[in-house]
Structure 1
Amino acid sequence: MRLLKFLPVILVCLLLGGCWDSQELEDRLSVTGIAIDQDKDQLVVSILTPIPQNNMGISGGATATQQPVQIFTGRGKTLSDATNDIRFQSNKRVTFGDTRLIIISEKVAKQGLSNLLDAFGRNPEFRRREYMIVAKGEAQHFFQLRSPLESNPAGYIISFLKNKSEDELIMKKKGLNHFFIDEANPVDQPILNYLSIDGQKVRWNGVAIFKEEKMVGILNRIESRSLLQINHNGTGEDLVTPCKVKPGLIAIQPNIVTSKVRFGNRKGRAVFRIMVNVKALVKEMTCSVNLDDPKSLQKVSRHVEKAYEIQAMNTVKKAQQLRSDIYGLGNFIRTYHPTWWKKLNWSTDFSKADISIKYKVVINPLGVRKTN
């Protein structure tokens, strides 16, 4: 008898389709990239969408004059307001489930990302795994890139970021999720890769530094190198410095980088001693130095260490001036000395901390040609 009561419900369920809320792909406008600029008191939001029939190649019916992507631009007081403006421009439903790239203009970043982060966090279509970068100039200009290597500008930029980070030349993937995590941490300050456009090419200009959700400064490529080596054990780009022993230059390619941090308390002042170990290769030399001679090799190594240390300390001083602990040094105090941590105003105390960086460089002098 009890089964008979539920029989009508069971029969109705059998008649229902399994994809009652499904949408046909042809009815969706999939967004692969979003660029956000500021014009006076309005946000200018540009979205990049691929055109499937134009990405099939000549054999698929597309011609060389057809664009593989389409750009829509909307304006509004908020992000949702601007995206609603875009929705009324398209005959399809705009979806952000396939978004892989978020580009924020420098102007917007300096005003603060609090409202944007709120919108991203509330929209379930954003997966939080998107790449997020800060653009020098207007963000929408990045969607005008036309590369023969990649038909979709968003794909080209993502490939650039992915390959360079795998080579340990730039900061590893810094996306929306990482920004949320860093912002929620009372110590860590968010950083994002800072890019510009050079003709039809992308150029990595360094790192955008944030204090909470507002951009406060920039580290150029050279200044970013020590941050990459200390925080991520990345190699960074090659170091080119005078040989010092004899006239000329030497190019050092870091191969393996490790770092270690020691910290202490000196009358209430935080003290950090950072040691960075670098194993490197000689990539190029324009000076006549016999690296097979241990004394000459040691002199070159010491000079390279000094060059690294000067650049690293310049970066530390800049971070302290901006009161942004991009190294996450406060985590050592917060983790191991919570009582001491509660007494600190870390933004101020970080700027007054005693921080020194030392490098130990081991150079492999081997090469095809024998040095003189």
Structure 2
Amino acid sequence: MKIKLCILFLCCLLFLTSCWDQRLLSQSKLVYGVGADLEKDGKLLVTAVIQTIAQASKGTSEPVLTNVIVSSLANTFSDSRTKIMKKISGEYATSKARVLLFHEDLAKEDLYPVLDIIYRDPRSSLGAKVVISKDKAADILNLRVVEESLISEEILEIVTTAETSTLVPEENVQSICPTLFDPGEDITLPYLGKSNDKMIDVYGIALFNGRKYTGYNLYDEEPTLLLMMKNEMKKYAKFTLEVNPKEKDERNRFISVQVKSNKVKKEIKINKNKDITAEFNLNIKVEALEYPKDNLADQKEIKRLNKEISKQLTKKAEKLIKTLQLANCDAFGIGRELIAFHPKVWKSLDWEKAYPKITIKPNIKVEITSSGIIE
């Protein structure tokens, strides 16, 4: 019996495959961040952040992580990989890339060509964040270190924190791919740059039309409102609004609130003339975080603040909608709903021309449900 089992085991070994495609980490240069800039001659300046372990300094035994910045001027992303590999020892490995940083001039041309190799290569990091930069990507990545963080980790942490605070959309290489090719919806991406003190600052979100960056952006509270209208609120969402403009003490003019919950109802209406109206109704419950003027125990004051905050947020929503339509960016996916539920209407439209002219109505109602432990 034992002999039969041994023979069966040996026969099974014949059908097992070996590790013919192994890639050892010790022989690879792991890329943690990649940036791309469009040069005047149309070539790509690709900058790679390679994380390495430096030798321990005198008096210490622990190795130190450091960045090696390598750049190449190339015709395509694939060409840049070939040229960068000539400058490094080991395999150019992008499977651990965390951030892809594209300068706005490059994004205005067409974002997909620089992403094509990433989608085709099975070893690519599909979870990498895609970010648009106001400054040259090479300049940002060459900061190397921000305070005590390596530049690739710093950008990742800043973007992730902004996502948690509902300041930028939570997107990566994989999530934006279907939308890039969807005629009924457009992507939005984090928009950042360098501040004067050599720090990284998230300015807002960049608006796209199809595969191209439009040059239009949403700032301040607008990105948060957009994401809430799309029902994409994350862990936190905060607003600071001027509700007492006549107060002498400037600090008494403002209230800061944090969103506790929000409910969104979107409705697409089409009349006999095929005029399209998209209505967004938001009911938001908030907690008062800061209100130096106080008096939040007075119900009349609460009602006044509810009305004033609702009015201001509705106006801000109207402003961001105008920006979306100027940019011809269908971030709400209104076209996608027409494709799904009104296919005949969709086929009769030239959406590129029709979208900027449709009516989009926001209606925001805010209720202060908590005012902290003082009251």
TM-score range for the pair, normalised by the shorter chain length: 0.7 to 0.9
Which residue of structure 1 aligns with residue 29 of structure 2? 29
- 2:115 is equivalent to residue 117 of structure 1: yes
Trace 1:2-81 onto structure 2 (pairs within 5 A). 18-40=18-40, 41-54=42-55, 59-62=60-63, 68-81=66-79
Measured after TM superposition, the shift of residue 145 of structure 1 is: 4.0
Deviations along 1:306-336, whole A, 9 cap, x unmatched?
A: 1101111000011111211111122222222
The 8 Å contact of residues 208 and 329 in structure 2, kept in 1 or not, is answered as yes
Instruction: Name the % identity.
Output: 20
Say yes or no: does 1:160 pair with 2:158.
Answer: yes
Cα distance in structure 2, aligned partners of 1:15 and 1:187: 48
Query: In structure 2, what is the equivalent of residue 99 of structure 1?
Result: 97
Q: How far did 1:352 drift?
A: 1.0
Q: Partner residue of 2:228? A: 229
Whether contact under 8 Å (1:233, 1:257) holds in the other structure is: no
SS at 2:95 equivalent: coil
Classify the secondary structure of the residue corresponding to 2:163.
Answer: helix
Rounded Cα–Cα distance in structure 2 between residues aligned with 1:197 and 1:343:
45
Deviations 1:84-143 (A, max 9, x none): 111111121111111121111111111212321322222222132211100111112232
In the alignment, does 2:139 pair up with 1:141?
A: yes
Return closer, same or farther for 1:92/1:273 CA change in 2, 3 Å cut-off. same
Kindly tell me: are residues 355 and 263 of structure 1, through their superposed partners in 2, closer, same or farther at Cα, counting changes over 3 Å?
same
Cα drift, residue 168 of structure 1 = 2.8
Higher mean C-alpha deviation, range 228-237 or range 298-307:
228-237
Query: Residues 158 and 202 of structure 2 are in contact (CA less than 8 Å); yes or no, is this contact kept in structure 1?
Result: no
Q: Distance in 2 between matches of 1:55 and 1:157?
A: 26
Match of 1:175 in 2: 172
1:211 corresponds to which residue?
Answer: 209
> Structure 1: which amino acid aligns with 2:131?
I
Deviation at 1:244, TM superposition (A): 5.8
In the alignment, structure 1 residue 283 sits paired with structure 2 residue 289? yes
Determine the structure 1 residue equivalent to 2:242.
241
Structure 1 residue 296: deviation in Å? 2.0
What displacement does 1:291 show?
2.5
Contact 2:166 2:224 in 1 (8 A): no
Residue 307 in 1 paired to residue 312 in 2?
yes
Q: 1:16 to 1:265 in 2, by over 3 A?
A: closer
Alignment check: 8 A CA contact 2:238 2:257 kept:
no
Please, which moves more after superposition, 93-102 or 234-243?
234-243
Distance 1:55 1:262, change over 3 A: farther
User: TM-score of the superposition, structure 1-length normalised?
Assistant: 0.87
Query: Compared with structure 1, are the counterparts of its residues 54 and 283 closer, same or farther at alpha carbon in structure 2 (3 Å cutoff)?
Result: farther
- Displacement of 1:29 in angstroms is 1.0
Does the 8 A contact of 2:324 with 2:331 survive in 1?
Answer: yes
State the superposition RMSD in angstroms: 2.6
Could you tell me which of 190, 194, 200 is aligned with 2:191? 194
Q: Shift of the alpha carbon at 1:59?
A: 4.5
Is it true that 1:264 corresponds to 2:269 in the alignment? Answer: yes
What is the CA–CA distance in structure 2 between the aligned matches of 1:53 and 1:324, rounded to whole Å? 46
Gaps of 5+ in 1: 1-6
8 Å contact 1:29–1:92 — kept in the other structure?
yes
In 1, the alpha carbon distance for the partners of 2:335 and 2:108 equals 24
Instruction: Label 1:300 to 1:21 Cα distance change in 2 as closer, same or farther (>3 A).
Output: closer
Q: Which amino acid aligns with 1:236?
A: A
Q: Distance in 1 between matches of 2:43 and 2:245?
A: 54
Partner AA of 2:275 in structure 1: R
1:346 Cα deviation from its structure 2 partner: 1.7
User: Residues 338-349 of structure 1 correspond to what in structure 2 (within 5 A)?
Assistant: 338-349=343-354
After TM superposition, the structure 1 = structure 2 runs for residues 304-343 of structure 1, keeping only pairs within 5 Å, are 304-343=309-348
Unpaired runs of 5+ residues, structure 2, are: 1-6
- Secondary structure in structure 1 of the residue aligned to 2:284: strand
Give 1:157 shift: 1.6
* 1:163 shift after superposition: 2.7
Contact 1:253 1:282 in 2 (8 A): yes
1:295 aligns to what?
Answer: 300
Q: Which amino acid aligns with 1:38?
A: L
Task: Supply the distance in 2 between the matched residues of 1:55 and 1:351 (Cα, whole angstroms).
Answer: 59
Counterparts of 2:261 and 2:316, CA distance in 1: 19
| 2:3 corresponds to | none
- Please name the residue that 2:106 is paired with: 108
